[in-house]
Amino acid sequence: MAKPSIALYQPDIPGNTGAILRLGACLGIDIHIIGPAGFDLSDRALKRAGMDYIEMAALARHDGWEEFEAWRAQARRRLVLMTTQSATPYIGDTVQTLTDQDVVLFGRESAGVPPRVHDAAEARLTIPMAEGRRSLNLAMSVAMVAGEINRRFGL
């Protein structure tokens, strides 16, 4: 069964990206990396975190936002942004709106996404957190959403 893809916008931390690639390989979820990344994608830390699973991951690299947007328009994929600036939780009835043609985008660890990327999203979801908390680790956030994707769309 087809399922939504996950995209990382200019990730900063190779260990997080490696863990996400491993997660994608294990759960059968395509991962898109929108560059430039804050590290060399051949970095040892990336390979260490992803282990041999990186070779099994369905990874698509996009050199920049414009290249990603051109791909997305051609593929007719809807952009769903995970953001702390949304009041709509990713769990519950809202996840019913996800389709196998969606790309769920996560911002960079240090800065999220710029306004033009935020504005390009057709839907915005958030991970509910306790009052006064800013954000979760990127790899944990992706894992939570990936788990919900697999619950809805199957492995």
Q: With bands split at pLDDT 50, 70 and 90, how would you rate the model's confidence at 51?
A: low
Alpha-carbon span 147 to 24, nearest angstrom: 11
Q: Once rounded to an integer, what is the mean pLDDT over residues 135-140?
A: 92
Residue 138 has pLDDT above 90, yes or no: yes
- d(CA 142, CA 98) in angstroms, rounded, equals 15
CB 15 within 8 A of CB 142: no
Structure confidence at residue 134 (pLDDT): 83
More confident residue, 121 or 59: 121
Residue 48 makes CB contacts below 8 A (sequence gap 6+) with 15, 18
Task: Report the distance separating Cα 142 and Cα 155, nearest Å.
Answer: 16
Helix (H, G, I), strand (E, B) or coil at 117: helix
SS3 content of the chain, % helix, strand, coil (to 5): 45, 20, 40
Residue 96 confidence (pLDDT): 61
- Sorted by where each starts, the structural domains of the chain and their CATH numbers stand as 5-153 (3.40.1280.10)
Q: Is the pLDDT of residue 57 over 60?
A: yes
| Residue bearing the bigger pLDDT, 125 or 98 | 125
**Stretch 75-89: mean pLDDT, rounded?**
93
Both structure tokens of 103: 């790309």
- pLDDT level of residue 35 (50, 70, 90 thresholds): very high
CA distance 50 to 22: 5
pLDDT for residue 94 is more than 60: no
Name the pTM for this structure: 0.92
Q: Name the DSSP letter for residue 88.
A: S
102 backbone dihedrals φ, ψ, rounded to 5°: -85, 155
